[in-house]
Structure 1
Amino acid sequence: MKSSIAVIADPDTVTGFKLGGIKSGYPVENMEEAETTLKEVFKGDFSIIITTEKIGDELRKTIERLTKASALPMIIEVPDKTGPSERKTDPIGELIKRVIGVEMVK
């Protein structure tokens, strides 16, 4: 059963999550490295993969392709050290809609 959490992000964000108790951290320096790491980690024994909004926005097609067939692992996007980014869509809202079939409205 999947029960672990992994973080794929810039080194500073990974360090912050490790200080918070997350054991599996994968610091990446560029989008190519982030995509390769995401694909590898997605095959692992994780229930949640945390990444930054910046990585999520750049790798949206890859994330959608990976998560299309299964609800786990969930990929959750958080702001990086520069703060939240302006977004056209809400990935968390889309995840909730896909998993439970209900659209969250504000």
Structure 2
Amino acid sequence: MSSVAIIGDIDTVSGFRLGGVKKAEVVNTADEAIVAFDKFLEEEISIIIITQVLANEIREHINRKIGSDVLPMIIEIPDKDGSSEGSSDQMNDLIKRVIGVEMVK
């Protein structure tokens, strides 16, 4: 496992491709995002970057597939429209998953 992949809209994916990320999927629907996500799981990608909007749409699927595993690390980023609500909650969940400690506000 040693690779980075991006799932998102055309603008977000294009930016990451320009930055050198080779494994990328442009998706427009939740169903397409699920297919791309599962594809990257099969390829044993270690970091999957996904836009927050898409991650929110397929949250149940992500949780079911990943569970409490540390890898692949799922990083949710804002899309071209900006950050979605609940970003800090997602960051706290990521920290808890990676280091096993819950951050208290």
- Provide TM-score, normalisation by structure 1: 0.89
- Unpaired stretches in structure 1, ≥5 consecutive residues: none
- Unpaired stretches in structure 2, ≥5 consecutive residues: none
Separation in 1, partners of 2:14, 2:82: 16
Q: Structure 1 pair 53/92, CA: closer, same or farther in 2 (3 Å)?
A: same
1:34 aligns with 2:33: yes
- Assess if the C-alpha contact under 8 Å between 1:67 and 1:74 holds in 2: no
TM-superposed CA distance for 1:4, in Å, is 0.4
Query: 1:1-106, aligned counterparts within 5 Å?
Result: 2-87=1-86, 90-106=89-105
Question: 3-state DSSP class of the match of 1:12?
Answer: helix
Farther-moved stretch of structure 1 (74-83 vs 42-51): 42-51
Q: Structure 1 pair 79/88, CA: closer, same or farther in 2 (3 Å)?
A: closer
- Provide TM-score, normalisation by structure 2: 0.90
TM-superposed CA distance for 1:69, in Å, is 4.9
Separation in 2, partners of 1:34, 1:40: 10
Q: Which has the higher helix share?
A: 2
Q: Alignment identity in percent? A: 49
Question: 3-state DSSP class of the match of 1:18?
Answer: helix
TM-superposed CA distance for 1:101, in Å, is 1.4
When the two structures are aligned, how many residues end up with a matched partner? 105
Q: Structure 1 pair 89/57, CA: closer, same or farther in 2 (3 Å)?
A: farther
